[in-house]
Structure 1
Amino acid sequence: MIYAIFAVTVLTVLIGLIAVSARIISVRNGTVPVGYFKLMQGEDVPEVLIKTGRCYNNMFEVPCLFYVVCTLYIVSGTESLAGLAFAWTFVVLRSAQACVHLTSNKVKYRMYLYGGGVLCVLLLWINLLIERV
């Protein structure tokens, strides 16, 4: 489980770096004034800034439930092959969702990948409860 947690953490850091890079590039090329970032409003901003920012913010939503359930597996000493499969499936789906979000941004595909990730987290929780009984 700890490796799956680490993988999602690395994904979050990478997306954060992409978002920061997009901001720096937008300021350097004059697309967005640096003052915009004080309150994040008042300017029309390029799609790349919105897309990367939202993708980064998404990494602090459902993945938080993933971190909690995986941590509970670890601290409770619960070893489950099904739990491991759900955890790594979540990592793959979340990575794919981020790739879609940051590239083509096809909402339909993002929705399926997001739903699959939510299902994995739910199954992780259910599996943990079953394993602990």
Structure 2
Amino acid sequence: MNVLYPVFVMFALTFFVQIQLGMKRVAAVSGGRIDPKYYRAYQGADEPEDLQIYSRHLINLYEAPVLFYVIVIIASVTGQAGTLPILLAWLYSLLRLAHSYVHLGSNKVLLRFRLFLASLLVLAALWGTVLIGMLMR
């Protein structure tokens, strides 16, 4: 198994959310829910709540996951992509999928927070595992 496969999962998730957001924005403008001028500088009347949720979620996919991409590349380049890092990488990507499902679906805040926190802990464990492996080499 390759440690890079979960990166493709994260790419697919990010790409999916980006496309969904674009389609929702087009529908909102076409349906008269928001003035297209809003998107010139993102000022004026607020976006409808569903668009705000998708926008915020997309931004979130460019925050902590960046640290995931970095550590997976480090693990791959340094030869630290053994069983545990691979399992942690898969667990991280699956937790992020679950987080997205909740955030863009029911949006139950406590469940969403728990999934986010779990993903951060897994990410920290992945960083620690790779670092220890590098130090012991």
Q: Per-residue displacement from partner, 1:60-106 (whole Å, max 9, x unpaired)?
A: 00000000000001111223211111110101110010111111111
| Equivalent residue, structure 1, for 2:124 | 122
Counterpart residue identity of residue 47, structure 1: E
1:74 to 2:76 alignment: yes
Counterpart residue identity of residue 70, structure 1: V
Gap regions ≥5 residues in structure 2:
none
| Counterpart Cα distance in 2 of 1:50 and 1:64 | 22
Counterpart residue identity of residue 35, structure 1: K
In the alignment, which of 33, 36, 45 is matched to residue 34 of structure 1? Answer: 36
| Counterpart Cα distance in 2 of 1:31 and 1:79 | 48
| Equivalent residue, structure 1, for 2:101 | 99
| Counterpart Cα distance in 2 of 1:87 and 1:25 | 35
RMSD (CA atoms)? 0.8
1:50 to 2:52 alignment: yes
Displacement of 1:44? 3.0
Counterpart residue identity of residue 56, structure 2: R
**Larger deviation: 84-93 or 40-49?**
40-49
Counterpart residue identity of residue 8, structure 1: M
Q: What is the SS of the residue equivalent to 1:79?
A: coil
Displacement of 1:16? 0.5
Displacement of 1:24? 0.5
In the alignment, which of 14, 17, 23 is matched to residue 16 of structure 2? Answer: 14
1:112 to 2:114 alignment: yes
TM-score (norm 1): 0.97
Q: Per-residue displacement from partner, 1:22-44 (whole Å, max 9, x unpaired)?
A: 10110000000110011112113
| Equivalent residue, structure 2, for 1:2 | 4
| Counterpart Cα distance in 2 of 1:45 and 1:79 | 43
Displacement of 1:45? 2.3
Runs of 4+ in 1 over 6 A off after TM superposition: none
